[in-house]
């Protein structure tokens, strides 16, 4: 199979993933509203899960196929994309105002998720182990953090139940709702398989590591739903949906997706790539901290256009650096 065909199939897979995520969000959101779940909870759970569904299916399929390095790179890359491009591109469309509670609770939780990934990944540094592995035991830690976040979210929803009734969620009949949800999952499974198979083939052809492919091509493709959702939400004046979706997706990626991946198979880091992956993890921590810091620079509790431009510039610069690093030029 040629490189051109592999690249074409990856693009096709991304289209399938984006459409599958859209179908899943429509169906699951409709079902959630029909059984009485508030719009706030739907936004922070169903929508966040739906926009992160491509990462989930790509990672789990990669884990079953033994490509766990691609899975780790995808989580790190997707969270970097979420913050730098998801927020950055959305801020270029319009200033994003953020609630004080989000500044002091949800954003620090996203920063914590990046720190936890780094701690669990670098066993040789923190515990003197011979290998760096995110084991099934580590998976339980990650999933426990995710449960804590979900419980917090549901508790928060009761306090704000009346504030979010304006949120627009289209409700369909049971048949259409189930069709959207099931068709979305089917598309996500198919798209995930296509991405993994062809991304690995491209990596082998170019001589790139699975981590770099996961950090760049796969991360960008699987994060398209978050980026598109953010831009559309800003255009509609729904800043809370932008920030809630980005933070929810980031936390979901770090705790649930990486935790589920490690539960399927130990995520083993290639000793020769630990420096690169370590730098990626530290960069994600830095990006998360910069997000928090920007809440007090310029307009308080907001991401302005100049900050969005800086986010996008930092992302492009780091991706160029990551590719150059792969060839040992730096």
Which segments of the chain have a pLDDT < 70? Answer: 1, 37-51, 154, 156-169, 229, 236, 238-241, 329-330
Q: Map residue 19 onto helix, strand or coil.
A: helix
Among residues 259, 227, 257, which one has the least CA distance to residue 245?
227
Q: List the structure tokens of 277.
A: 């992956």
Structural domains present in the chain: 3-326 (1.20.1420.30)
CB-side neighbour CA atoms (13 Å) of 325: 21
pLDDT at position 310 is 96
Do 59 and 276 form a contact (C-beta atoms < 8 A)? no
Q: What is the 3-state secondary structure (H, E, C) of 105-168?
A: HHHHHHHHHHHHHHHHHCHHHHCCCCCCEECHHHHHHHHHHHHHHHHHHHHHHHHCCCCCCCCC
Q: Give the per-residue pLDDT at 330.
A: 46
pLDDT in tens, 162-216: 444 445 567 888 889 889 888 887 887 788 788 878 887 887 787 788 788 888 8
pLDDT at 51: 67
């Amino acid at each position: 199979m040629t490189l051109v065909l592999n690249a074409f199939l990856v693009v096709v897979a991304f289209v399938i993933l984006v459409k599958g995520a859209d179908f899943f969000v429509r169906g699951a959101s409709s079902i959630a509203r029909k059984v009485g779940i508030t719009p706030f909870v739907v936004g922070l759970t169903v929508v966040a899960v739906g926009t992160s569904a491509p990462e989930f299916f790509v990672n789990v399929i990669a884990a079953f196929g033994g490509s766990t390095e691609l899975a780790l790179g995808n989580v790190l890359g997707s969270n970097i994309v979420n913050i730098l491009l998801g927020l950055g591109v959305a801020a270029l469309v319009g200033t994003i105002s953020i609630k004080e509670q989000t500044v002091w609770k949800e954003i620090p939780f996203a920063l914590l998720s990046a720190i936890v990934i780094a701690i669990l990944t670098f066993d040789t540094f923190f515990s003197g182990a011979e290998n760096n592995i995110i084991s099934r035991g580590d998976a339980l830690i990650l999933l426990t953090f995710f449960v804590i976040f979900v419980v917090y979210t549901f508790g928060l929803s009761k306090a704000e139940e009346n504030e979010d009734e304006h949120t627009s969620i289209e409700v369909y009949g049971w048949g259409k709702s189930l069709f959207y949800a099931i068709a979305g999952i089917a598309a996500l499974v198919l798209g995930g398989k296509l991405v993994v198979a062809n991304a690995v083939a491209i990596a082998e052809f170019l001589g790139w590591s699975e981590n770099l492919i996961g950090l760049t091509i796969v991360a960008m493709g699987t994060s398209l739903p978050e980026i598109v959702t953010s831009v559309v939400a800003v255009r509609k004046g729904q800043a809370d949906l932008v920030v809630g979706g980005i933070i929810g997706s980031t936390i979901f990626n770090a705790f649930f997706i990486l935790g589920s991946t490690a539960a399927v198979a130990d995520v083993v880091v290639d000793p020769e790539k630990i420096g690169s992956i370590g730098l990626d993890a530290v960069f994600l921590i830095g990006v998360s901290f910069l997000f928090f810091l920007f809440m007090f620079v310029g307009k308080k509790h907001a991401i302005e256009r100049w900050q969005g431009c800086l986010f996008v510039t930092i992302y492009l610069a780091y991706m160029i650096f990551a590719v150059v690093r792969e060839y040992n030029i730096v």
